[in-house]
Amino acid sequence: MITRNNLFNAVPIFESGLTDDEIMEFSVRYKEGEGLVNYLYGYAENDEQNNVMRTYIVRDNKTNELVGYFSLKAGMISINEHRIEEKEYFDTRPGIELANFAVNDTYVSKHEEVRGCGISIFNGLIIPIVFDVAEKIGVKMIYIFSLPIESLMVRYSKYGFKRLTSKQEEELHKRLKPNYDEGCIFMYQEL
C-alpha cells in the first residue's frame, strides 16, 4: 500500500526496496536522535515481521531518494488517575503511537529547496493513515514520546501536538512510558 502526497510517498518497509547502503547513509540532525537511526538499521524489520509496529519508508516522488521514515503502532494512554482506599483507578483512551519519526538529514542537506519535510510527511502521509485506521477501529488520538529537545517539541506543537499538565504527565509516565522512550516527553493530538 502506497500513501503519497505531492512531494513524497510512504511504503511499508518490506515493500520499499530499502537497501543497506540507504540505511548506512541515513542520518538525523540531533545527536539525541541517533536511536532512530539504530532502530531503522537494527529493529524495524523484526518489529514489522512480529506485528509490533508498522514502519513506513518515505521517498521523494521524483528522485526516489530516502527522505525519512515513521513507525505507527496501536496503543492507549491512561487519564484521570486517582486513588480510593489504596486502590488506583484510571480511564484509558485508545490511540495510535507515532513511535518513530525521522527525516533523513542526508537528504535535507542535498535538497535545500525542500524545507518542511517533516510537516509534509506528517500531514500528507501519517495523518491519512491515522484517519483510515480511526474509521475502522476506536481511536481518539495520535501521540508521540518526543525527544526532550525544545525546538523539536515546538515543531510538534506546530503539528498540533500538546503536552499534558505536569501532574498528568508524571502519572502517565509512571504507568505507560516504555523503556525505549526513556527521557522523552509525551505529546498528543486529539482526532
Closest among 57, 56, 67 to 7, alpha carbons compared: 67
Cβ count near 125 (within 10 Å): 23
pTM to 2 decimals?
0.90
| pLDDT tens digits, 162-177 | 998 888 888 777 776 6
Are the C-beta atoms of 53 and 71 separated by less than 8 Å? yes
Closest among 32, 33, 99, 102 to 67, alpha carbons compared: 102
Its domain, for residue 109, covers 3-190
CA angle 185, 124, 110 (to 5 degrees): 85
User: How many residues are given for the chain?
Assistant: 191
Domain tally, the chain:
1
CATH number at residue 51: 3.40.630.30
C-alpha cell at 185: 516527553
| pLDDT tens digits, 87-121 | 877 778 899 999 999 999 999 999 988 888 999 99
Are the C-beta atoms of 26 and 37 separated by less than 8 Å? yes
